[in-house]
C-alpha cells in the first residue's frame, strides 16, 4: 500500500471512532444520534442503542436492527419504550429476551406472562432481578426454581416478594446458602414483623445481624437481639434508625465504646441524650 492509501485508511479508522464517540455522547442532539443509528458499522449503532439519552423513536428503530448485539443494547436501555420491550421478550435471540426481561421499563404485566412451563429459566432469572418484577412471578419462580439457592436469594431480597413467599423462604433451615436466603429475608424492608421477630432468634449470627439492621424490624425483635447479641449485633441495633429511644438510651450507656458511639451517631437519638453523652465523654 502506498503512502496515499495508508493515509486514507488511517482517516477512515479515525472517522469511525469519531462517529462512535458521537454515538456515546449523552449530550448529543437527537438528530445526531438518529444519524449514527443508521451507521454502517454495527458497533456504532450498538453504542447509540446503549446511550441513556437516546430518543425512544431511535431505540424503537434499533430494536429492529439485523444485528443481535444492537437489539440487545436497545433491550437493555431503560429509555426503551415499554411496547418495544414487550416485543423484544419474543425476539429470536435469547440474549435479547433476557435483556428485555431485566429492563426496569418492561411492563410488569408482560413479565408476569413468563409464569409458564415453557419459559426459559435464564429469562426468568433476569425478570426476578428486575426491580419491577410482579409479586406473582416472584412467588411462582420461588416454587419453580427450587433448589436453586442463588436465585432464591434474589427473590428473598426483592422488595415486591409476597409475605407468604418470604415466610416459606425464612424457614429454609441450615447454614451456608440456606442461611444466606434467611439473611436476605431478614434484610428485606417488606418483611412482615412476625417473620423478623422469629429470625431475631435464628441460630446464625449473620441472620440476626440482618434483622438488627433492618429499619422494618419491630421493637420486640431489636430487644431480643440485645439480650444475647455480641458487640457487632448490638452496634448494628444501635445504628438502626428505627431503634426505640429507650433502647437507644441503654445502648448509649453500654460499656463497649463501639456500641455506645453507634447509639450516639444514630439520627433518631434525641438531642438531650446526645448532649448527655458528649458531656460525659468530653466530645463535641
Q: Which three cell numbers stand for residue 61?
A: 428503530
Correct CATH for 90-113+121-221 of 1.20.200.10, 1.10.10.10, 3.40.50.720, 1.25.10.10: 1.25.10.10
Domain boundaries, the chain: 90-113+121-221, 230-284
pLDDT along the chain (284 residues), means of 10: 37 79 95 96 97 96 98 98 97 97 97 91 94 97 82 96 97 86 97 97 96 98 93 97 96 94 94 85 67
Helices assigned H by DSSP within 51-120: 56-62, 68-76, 82-88, 94-102, 108-112
Distance, CA of 167 to CA of 124 (rounded, Å): 21
Distance, CA of 165 to CA of 270 (rounded, Å): 37
Question: Would you state the pLDDT for residue 135?
Answer: 98
Distance, CA of 142 to CA of 137 (rounded, Å): 8
DSSP codes, 233-273: HHHHHHH-TT--HHHHHHHHT-SSHHHHHHHHT-TTS-HHH
Question: Would you state the pLDDT for residue 165?
Answer: 97
Question: Would you state the pLDDT for residue 183?
Answer: 97
The closest of 31, 100, 36 to 63, measured between CA atoms, is 100
Q: Which are the contacts of 3, defined by CB distance < 8 A and separation ≥ 6?
A: none
Question: Would you state the pLDDT for residue 13?
Answer: 60
Question: Would you state the pLDDT for residue 11?
Answer: 46
Question: Would you state the pLDDT for residue 1?
Answer: 40
At which residue does the C-alpha cell 444501635 appear? 238
Phi-psi region of 176 (alpha: psi -120 to 50; beta: other; left: phi over 0): left
Amino acid at each position: 500500500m502506498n503512502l496515499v492509501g495508508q493515509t486514507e485508511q488511517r482517516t477512515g479508522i479515525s472517522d469511525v471512532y469519531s462517529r462512535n464517540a458521537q454515538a456515546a455522547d449523552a449530550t448529543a442532539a437527537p438528530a445526531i444520534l438518529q444519524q449514527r443509528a443508521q451507521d454502517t458499522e454495527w458497533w456504532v449503532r450498538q453504542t447509540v442503542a446503549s446511550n441513556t439519552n437516546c430518543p425512544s423513536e431511535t431505540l424503537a428503530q434499533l430494536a429492529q436492527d439485523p444485528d443481535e448485539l444492537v437489539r440487545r443494547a436497545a433491550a437493555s436501555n431503560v429509555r426503551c419504550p415499554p411496547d418495544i420491550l414487550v416485543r423484544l421478550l419474543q425476539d429470536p435471540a435469547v440474549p435479547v429476551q433476557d435483556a428485555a426481561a431485566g429492563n426496569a421499563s418492561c411492563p410488569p404485566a408482560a413479565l408476569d406472562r413468563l409464569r409458564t412451563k415453557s419459559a426459559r429459566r435464564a429469562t426468568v432469572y433476569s425478570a426476578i432481578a428486575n426491580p419491577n418484577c410482579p409479586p406473582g412471578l416472584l412467588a411462582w419462580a420461588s416454587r419453580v426454581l427450587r433448589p436453586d439457592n442463588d436465585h432464591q436469594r434474589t427473590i428473598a431480597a426483592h422488595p415486591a416478594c409476597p409475605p407468604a413467599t418470604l415466610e416459606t423462604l425464612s424457614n429454609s433451615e441450615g447454614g451456608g446458602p440456606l442461611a444466606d436466603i434467611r439473611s436476605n429475608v431478614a434484610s428485606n424492608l417488606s418483611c412482615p414483623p412476625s417473620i423478623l421477630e422469629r429470625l431475631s432468634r435464628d441460630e446464625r449470627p449473620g441472620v440476626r445481624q440482618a434483622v438488627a439492621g433492618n429499619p422494618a424490624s419491630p421493637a420486640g425483635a431489636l430487644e431480643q437481639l440485645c439480650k444475647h447479641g455480641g458487640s457487632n449485633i448490638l452496634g448494628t441495633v444501635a445504628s438502626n434508625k428505627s431503634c426505640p429511644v429507650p433502647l437507644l438510651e441503654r445502648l448509649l450507656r453500654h460499656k463497649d465504646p463501639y456500641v455506645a458511639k453507634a447509639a450516639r451517631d444514630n439520627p433518631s437519638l434525641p438531642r438531650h441524650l446526645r448532649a448527655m453523652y458528649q458531656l460525659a465523654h468530653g466530645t463535641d
